[in-house]
Amino acid sequence: MSAAVIDGKAFAANVRGQIAEHVQRLKDENGITPGLAVILVGEDPASEVYVAAKHKQTVEVGMASFEHKLPADVPEAELFALIDQLNADPTVHGILCQFPVPDHLNERDVVARIDPAKDVDGLSVVNAGLLASGEQGLVSCTPLGCLMLLRDQLGNMSGKEAVVIGRSNLFGKPMGQLLLKENCTVTIAHSRTADLPEVSRRADILVAAVGRAEMVKGDWIKPGATVIDVGITRIPHPDKPGKTKLLGDVDYAEATQVAAAVTPVPGGVGPMTIACLLANTLTACCRAHGLTEPAGLTA
């Protein structure tokens, strides 16, 4: 048995294509252009690369991209004044501040300052609470991307047993909530879970998000399960001195011999994160104007 590879790169490109069509329709029929504002504080190289990718993909789908670069020593009051300005700007439908931020700023306070209706990263306590309550909010991008991949792979997930390894507020908890919403029976496992391999083996859907390279071995996986690998660990490349290699939380070679389908690293979940950021911006725009939300791009 060899698992089907879940191609997140191709799926994300398809999602961006759908978004571009919706954006064009909004312009043609309503004269509205969805707008995404990204705030970058300081000069973290990885963040700069990520922000550039967001800008490029935002423009490619026809949205307005607003970039705000602030110095690393920007006072909190100045950052908050910018967020307040963006909250009040009707041309801006989504706001995100790229993390990490310098130590003198508190990430939780920054997220709390963003209008929950424009919190397209889905990180606010308000949006987390709406998701947990089964109400309409904006969902964190990476869990939303995983949900889209699972829907595409499995269709109806009702009654399936799902195990999420990792309980972070950023991913594990919202992923569990999304799977509950799909009528899965959900276990959120973590570092203190007794006999984690045995718990994992129960899963029809196994989602790993702990950041420990190749922790999940083939014998942790139920034959025929669908495996979503969210972990990313950089290691020195064994064959290319000075280069790095990306590994996921799942031992990919072993998993492909047991699972029905598995996401690779890279090229699996990663590309879906920015695609879902754009999807959330489109959704926020439609909600702000009382228009029908795009089908298939929300939780």
248-289 tens-digit pLDDT: 999 999 999 999 999 999 999 999 999 999 999 999 999 999
Closest CA to 48 of 39, 60, 36, 58: 39
- 296 within a domain of the structure (yes/no): no
Domain CATH for 176:
3.40.50.720
Clarify whether residues 200 and 240 are in a common domain.
Answer: yes
Number of domains in the chain: 2
Bridge pairing between strands 185-189 and 233-236: unpaired
Clarify whether residues 111 and 207 are in a common domain.
Answer: no
Please report, rounded to a whole number, the percentage of residues in the chain having pLDDT higher than 70. 100
- 26 within a domain of the structure (yes/no): no
Select which of 54, 118, 173, 222 is catalytic: 54
Clarify whether residues 150 and 209 are in a common domain.
Answer: yes
pLDDT of residue 239: 87
**Cα torsion 42, 45, 49, 54: sign:** negative
Residue 238 banded pLDDT, cuts 50, 70, 90 = confident
Clarify whether residues 111 and 158 are in a common domain.
Answer: no
Please report, rounded to a whole number, the percentage of residues in the chain having pLDDT higher than 90. 93
Contact (Cβ atoms closer than 8 angstroms) between residue 166 and residue 140: no
pLDDT at residue 1 is higher than 70 = no
- 19 within a domain of the structure (yes/no): no
- 133 within a domain of the structure (yes/no): no
Select which of 18, 57, 98, 177 is catalytic: 98
Clarify whether residues 68 and 156 are in a common domain.
Answer: no
Of the three residues 83, 117, 151, the one that is the final residue of a domain is 117
Clarify whether residues 156 and 98 are in a common domain.
Answer: no
Residue 54 bears catalytic tag: yes
**Cα torsion 82, 85, 91, 96: sign:** positive
Virtual CA dihedral for 261, 163, 295, 33, nearest 10 degrees? -100
- 293 within a domain of the structure (yes/no): no
Write the pLDDT tens digit of every residue in 188-228: 999 899 999 999 999 999 999 999 999 999 999 999 999 99
Strand order in the sheet with 205-208: 4-5, 261-262, 226-229, 205-208, 161-165, 185-189
How far, in Å, CA of 71 to CA of 98, rounded? Answer: 13
- 71 within a domain of the structure (yes/no): yes
Bridge pairing between strands 4-5 and 261-262: parallel
Clarify whether residues 94 and 159 are in a common domain.
Answer: no
Domain CATH for 68:
3.40.50.10860
pLDDT of residue 126: 98
- 13 within a domain of the structure (yes/no): no
Whole-prediction pTM: 0.95
Chain mean pLDDT for the chain:
96
Clarify whether residues 92 and 199 are in a common domain.
Answer: no
pLDDT at residue 242 is higher than 90 = no
pLDDT at residue 58 is higher than 90 = yes
pLDDT of residue 148: 98
pLDDT of residue 120: 98
Clarify whether residues 146 and 112 are in a common domain.
Answer: no
Cα-based distances in Å from 4 to 83, 160, 215: 43, 19, 21
Select which of 119, 121, 204, 249 is catalytic: 121
- 92 within a domain of the structure (yes/no): yes
Clarify whether residues 177 and 77 are in a common domain.
Answer: no
Residue 257 bears catalytic tag: no
Write the pLDDT tens digit of every residue in 158-174: 999 999 999 999 999 99
In terms of residue numbers, what domain contains 250? 141-271
Residue 98 bears catalytic tag: yes
